[in-house]
Structure 1
Amino acid sequence: MKKRQLNYSADSYAYLPNNSAHRFAQAFALRIYRSNSIYSFIPKNACSTMRVSLAMANGCISSTADFNWIHCNNDTFRADLASLIQADYTFVILRCPFARIASAYLDKIVDTTGVAWELYDAVQRQIDIQDMSFRLFVNTITKPAILRANIHWQPQVDFLVYKDYDDYFNLETFAAAQSIISEKAQIDIIDARGLTRHGIERFELISNDTYADYLPDAIRTLKKAGQAPKPSTLYDDELIAKISKAFKKDIALYKSLFGTKNLMFS
């Protein structure tokens, strides 16, 4: 059995269940029972696809018709300490930090989901959600008090329960990774994008403008017409610099593992 080293356990000498950094990362470490595997799920990183796949592999749903089951069962497959240490296989799916933040905005803020209202509360209701351009969104979430206010933009490094995983994959090349995950974790990957409709795959991506200052209503109008901004067009140099600073550790990890080929801005 391979030795597993926890990422945040020694950061505090407190009773481990009271170690907030470890407790957070552990909450997102899910078990795949048949292969004794641990998958660390990170929101906006194919997490719905993977959670539907886990629910089916672990015998809790038998059809994608029940995909909404996953939203009520985020904790069902959560690993305990023994499962973390005794895992036979561990993996995580990372994502270009620039792409992840753009995705969080285009999905959660533009469509005025519950996450948008949580952000509204986090800023003491001082900013109207309908005034939340991408620029204002970035300026807001990169503030220390808001950076970890929601898991959909919280830094990816916070979700890593292990110092090292057997495999690190990235969403940008996920299609090529699926066969490896299926073989090692003994799980069939079920594409849930068409079920949750969280992504922008169904839209024509346009790049005829810089969309940093477009308001949500303007982007919703584009969506109704079957279009969406290409994620890179949400950024200008100022916003690239802000994300680069606030998500420095995420970017450094991504570069160290995958290089810069699939990083939106290098």
Structure 2
Amino acid sequence: MFNFSANSLTNLNQNGQHQFCMNYAMQVFSSNAIYSFIPKNGCSTLRLSVGIANGCITGIEQGNWIHQNNQTFKPTLKDAATAKYKFVILRCPFRRLASVFLDKFVAKELDAWQYRDLLKREVNLDDLTFEQFVKSLAVPPMKGANIHWKPQSLFLLYKEYDNYFALEHFEKAITTLKDKIDLDVVDARSLTGHGTDKFEMLNDRSYCKTAAFDIAILKRQGKCPSHEALYNDELIQLVKKLYAEDISLYTKRCNQSDLLFP
């Protein structure tokens, strides 16, 4: 039932892959449900919703509580093994990488500075382009070095979930979770500001070689390159290679036609 528990003969408490997945699992108490959360896949909204459902906070006005409580609802091994309902939200890998760059790097959040440290501070974050970022992920250990671009398949606690939702059709998750486990999903986008829904999306040219600082200026003007506009043919092929397992997972569990580049 568990995805990585038998991958190592060591004590399960020392099984790094399994414990990592346990750390990114949340229990919904009233329904004995387990949610595996993956960064950049709508997880702020779901973490907020679980926090409210479990009686620890009352609404979005207390939303910053979630950032210090990612493991507050971590299940025990028994909880995880006996869960009555298990769900996860997947995202098109092309869109997830684009979202990371437009969010974490353009805003120069902590993850961007950690990325710079991994590259021995040899990169200027203002000058960094999406092309440079994606190409750097081909150099070990960069692809797995940060949870926001770590492959989604490595977060899956279970071999099978009851529901695999696509972030691209988040409305289906909202209605299904209400119907199946009576979970009210509370939108956290106004709290995080991570999305691009409030911007005029630019598709007039390729922005793969546009510096993060220049994109930040565009965003101050209410404009933002679309996810598709960040790619060229070379980057598409590179992401297909680097994230082949995630693309296969999304194709199998969601809908291949919802990939940015099917």
Q: Same fold (TM over 0.5)?
A: yes
**Are the aligned partners of 2:164 and 2:254 in contact in 1 as well (CA < 8 Å)?**
no
Among 107, 111, 120, the alignment partner of 2:103 is: 107
Q: Percent identity?
A: 43
Deviation at 1:129, TM superposition (A): 1.3
Task: Tell me if 1:64 matches 2:80.
Answer: no
The aligned runs of 1:35-74 (5 Å cut-off) are 35-74=31-70
Task: Tell me if 1:248 matches 2:244.
Answer: yes
Q: Deviations over 1:144-175 (max 9, x none)?
A: 21111100000000000000001101000111
TM-score (normalizing by structure 1)? 0.97
The aligned runs of 1:213-232 (5 Å cut-off) are 213-232=209-228
Deviation at 1:123, TM superposition (A): 1.1
Q: Deviations over 1:72-92 (max 9, x none)?
A: 111101111111101010000
Q: Distance in 2 between matches of 1:48 and 1:185?
A: 19
Deviation at 1:143, TM superposition (A): 2.0
Equivalent residue, structure 1, for 2:123: 127
The aligned runs of 1:170-185 (5 Å cut-off) are 170-185=166-181
> What amino acid does structure 2 have at the position aligned with 1:56?
I
SS at match of 2:111: helix
Task: Tell me if 1:205 matches 2:205.
Answer: no
> What amino acid does structure 2 have at the position aligned with 1:110?
V
Q: Deviations over 1:157-200 (max 9, x none)?
A: 00000000011010001112211012223210001111110111
- Runs of 4+ in structure 1 deviating by more than 6 angstroms, as ranges, are none
Q: Distance in 2 between matches of 1:263 and 1:86?
A: 33
Equivalent residue, structure 1, for 2:78: 82
> What amino acid does structure 2 have at the position aligned with 1:50?
L
TM-score (normalizing by structure 2)? 0.98
SS at match of 2:258: coil
Among 9, 13, 24, the alignment partner of 1:13 is: 9
Deviation at 1:261, TM superposition (A): 1.3
Q: Distance in 1 between matches of 2:4 and 2:140?
A: 20
> What amino acid does structure 2 have at the position aligned with 1:183?
D
| Unaligned stretches of 5+ residues in structure 2 | none
Q: Deviations over 1:215-234 (max 9, x none)?
A: 01110111011010010010
Equivalent residue, structure 2, for 1:236: 232
Equivalent residue, structure 2, for 1:97: 93
Q: Deviations over 1:101-155 (max 9, x none)?
A: 0000000001100010010111111212122100001011232211111000000
CA RMSD of aligned residues (A): 0.8
Q: Distance in 2 between matches of 1:204 and 1:142?
A: 31
Equivalent residue, structure 1, for 2:26: 30
SS at match of 2:126: helix
